[in-house]
Amino acid sequence: MEGTTTMKNTPPSPSPRYKYDMIILGASGFTGKYVVKEALKFVNNNNNNNTCFSSFAIAGRNVTKLTETLKWASYPNPIPIPNTTIPILIADTTNPSSLRRLCSQTKLILNCVGPFRLYGDPVVAACVQTGCDYLDICGEPEFMERTELNYHQKAMESGSLVISACGFDSIPAELGVMFNSRQWERPAVPNTVEAFLSLESDKKLVLNLGTFESAVLGVANVKELQKLRRSRPKRARPMIPGSPPRRPTIEHQKNIGLWAVKLPSADSIVVRRTLSILAENPHGLSGMNESAEWKKTRESFWSMHKPAHFGVKMGTKSVFGILRIIMMGVFLGILGSFSFGRWLLLKFPSVFTLGWFRKSGPTEKEVNSASFKMWFVGHGFSDSQQVQVKPNMEIVTRVMGPEVGYITTPIILLQCALTLLSQRENLPKGGVFPPGIVFGPTDLQQRLEANGISFDVISKRALSG
């Protein structure tokens, strides 16, 4: 099924080549509807700056659900909001021609259709074929790495910039480790930066079901990911002072008040991809038509970046919370390895995650009461010329914001979109990249800070031998 439905009002003025700045695909899904809600804050038909979209559309399979999404997202305002129009476009990930038609109308696709391992490839293919830029909220390592393998060269040729992990996975980790890195003033250098993630709520904590579904598929396909990595050439490794640290699987971080357990995380994989690309391109990636001023800004930014070993741990305020995380991990690891077990996990998510995930998703009150804190604990050396056996310096920074799946992720995705659209000439012509290597030198951090996500330095101190 292909077609277009438009909510009544004055249509936006189309650009010479594109009808829309962006199209949100999967707009009626759990996360997609919150992305639409966030996007409505930044619509301005008379846009003369880089903080608004001149026009955007939403897309999916079901016009009724998409219409309901617009009504829900605009509440309490009428539909459409004054002086704007939000077209509804019909497209299906099983229909490649509908996706190509979608991509030919816009500069940028925001893909919210997951799990991406099942539904993402046709969307990327359509973007690459048409030269359309692509952002998504994927946190699935296999999809991201396979996309790079299959489409990087084609995307470079067509001028399609393809960037995954533009939500809570993995922008806070990417920008957070860069923020921590910049606090190490020469001659000081970091050796390791560990992120400790704490999810908090005034009410019951309920997380995004799509995240759980992706995790289940990730366990099921771990051997395919390992096979994929073995088939590819070894990536460049950054030069990091000192030996790789040996950190405990479970630890008590007294200075931030958390018990923590090591977490298999897309964040660490994405950060390592950025560091690997940076090792090959020490000044970052050149923009397709970058200005001399931007080149200077880009090179200056990356000259201040100091690579470090990176990992992620899940933190809670009590040891009982750690036991809960471990129990959920055991269920996921055992049951996710065979088909009937995966059926049980997806059929009864609330049982096997001890209430953290449920099919109905969180209520509005649960979403609005939740928040996150991501602490970055960096250990390193006060003098890069005198690297010791053990680090003698610690810098702690923090990224903090609202609920991760339905508030923070849409905020991040929309600010990535605005950054890309407003600074496109200064970004790479095309290719498949992690977000950090593209957005690091831009003003994305400042945009996030203006929209409720904070970056703070907590402490700097010397460590005793």
Per residue in 317-354, pLDDT (tens digit) is: 988 889 989 999 999 999 999 999 999 999 999 998 88
CA 160/CA 55 separation, integer angstroms = 20
Nearest to 204 by CA among 12, 367, 27: 367
pLDDT confidence of residue 45: 53
For 356-389, how does the pLDDT look when each residue is reduced to its tens digit (9 = 90+)? 888 888 888 988 999 999 999 999 999 988 887 7
User: In which order are the strands placed within the sheet that holds 106-111?
Assistant: 3-6, 87-90, 56-60, 20-25, 106-111, 133-136, 161-163, 431-433
Predicted confidence at residue 10, as pLDDT, reads: 34
Q: Region 112-129: what's the mean pLDDT?
A: 96
Amino acid residing at 303: S
- Give long-range contacts, CB 8 A cutoff, 24+ apart: 38-41: 38/410, 38/411, 38/413, 38/414, 39/410, 39/414, 40/73, 40/74, 40/77, 40/81, 40/86, 41/414
Inter-residue contact 207 to 404 (CB < 8 Å): yes
pLDDT band at 79 (very low <50, low <70, confident <90, very high): low
User: What does the mean pLDDT of the chain come to?
Assistant: 90
Q: CA–CA separation, 216 vs 343, rounded Å?
A: 10
Lookup: tokens for 225: 């990911």
pLDDT tier for residue 251 given thresholds of 50, 70 and 90: very high
Mean pLDDT check: name the lowest of 270-274, 282-286, 349-353, 395-399.
349-353
In the chain, the N- to C-terminal Cα span, in Å, equals 68
* pLDDT level of residue 16 (50, 70, 90 thresholds): low
Residue 296: is its pLDDT beyond 70? yes
CA diameter of the chain: 69
Tell me which DSSP letter residue 353 carries: T
Which of the four pLDDT bands, split at 50, 70 and 90, describes residue 196? Answer: very high
Residue 11: band (very low, low, confident or very high) from pLDDT cuts 50, 70, 90:
very low
Q: Would you state the pLDDT for residue 232?
A: 84
Structure tokens at 372: 């996150």
Q: Which residues contact 46 (CB under 8 A, 6 or more apart)?
A: none
Lowest mean pLDDT among 201-210, 287-296, 432-441: 201-210
